[in-house]
Amino acid sequence: MFEGFIDERVDVGEVTLRVRHSAPGGPPVVLLHGHPRTSATWHRVAPLLRSAGYTVVCPDLRGYGGSDSPPTTPDHAPYSKRAMAADIRALMQRLGHDRFAVAGHDRGSYVALRLALDHADAVTALAILDGIPIVEHLERCDDRFAAAYWHWFFFAQPGKPERAILADPDAWYGGDPDAMGAEAYAEFRAAVHDPATVTGMLEDYRAGLTVDREHEAADRAAGHRVSCPLYVLWSRRDDLEELHGDPLAIWRDWADDLRGGHDIDSGHHVAEEAPEALAAALQKFFDATVPAEADGGRY
């Protein structure tokens, strides 16, 4: 996987992140994974974007994969999307990038949104994959949403989900090495067998229902919006559109420059199932929106 990419751990302040990145050579693009994946989920997409002329950065979010899982607090703030977004901003600065585009999938989409809201000076373009803001999900919660997203509420409970998952992580999470790729599957499997990582991933959800929702609601009430170009993609064989209708209609209330979007013929793990279609859609969006060079000659 990731042939020709640098694979290292980078200290970003509060935590150290595991990151795969290509050598600088074009506008930087950050790809943020979802649950329960790691940066390995992008192993078929990242080389395509690199070949298209982009510097590609794929970190493991805090609490996931090879990145640190710090101690939590009663308010779950160490796993807030604000904390995760600050990690990514610090990571990019340490890699020498002042401005960058970002694409986030699933849980990574919430981090990507927080990056665009909290660090608007750094984010040149935002792509959201299979996501709407957490507060929008929760305000639309009905019996259909509760049945489909039951894990959100189970994962938020203290202690019990760790016991259930760690009793048999393979049975809980499944995964197909043929679909994921043998190396990506091995990395995923190692992560879900690690107790600290499992707790870190669950803390992501606990923060989602508490501090993250509060942050999003406060932004919306204050009129804070995504100022950079926003593009929205969703998986046709997932349930986002089925549950909530047209995702673009929801995102119009959050963005000044919504460039549209569409579905992709895929199940939920789009980077693994439809990498060529996803890479082509991202490249088209980034080609139209990402500046060739930032002010001062530094990306």
User: Could you give the residue numbers annotated as active site?
Assistant: 106, 268
- For residues 292 and 124, give the distance between their C-alpha atoms in angstroms, rounded to a whole number: 11
For residue 102, give the 3-state DSSP assignment: strand
Structure tokens that stand for 49 in this block? 């974007």
CA dihedral 142, 145, 148, 150 (to 10 degrees): -70
The CA distances from residue 248 to 18, 64, 65, 208, 254, in Å, are 33, 29, 31, 22, 10
- Residue length of the chain: 299
- For residues 151 and 139, give the distance between their C-alpha atoms in angstroms, rounded to a whole number: 17
Structure tokens that stand for 199 in this block? 């707790």
Structure tokens that stand for 95 in this block? 């890699």
- For residues 201 and 114, give the distance between their C-alpha atoms in angstroms, rounded to a whole number: 18
Q: What is the 3-state secondary structure (H, E, C) of 193-211?
A: CCHHHHHHHHHHHHHHHHH
Structure tokens that stand for 205 in this block? 């959800």
Structure tokens that stand for 287 in this block? 């080609």
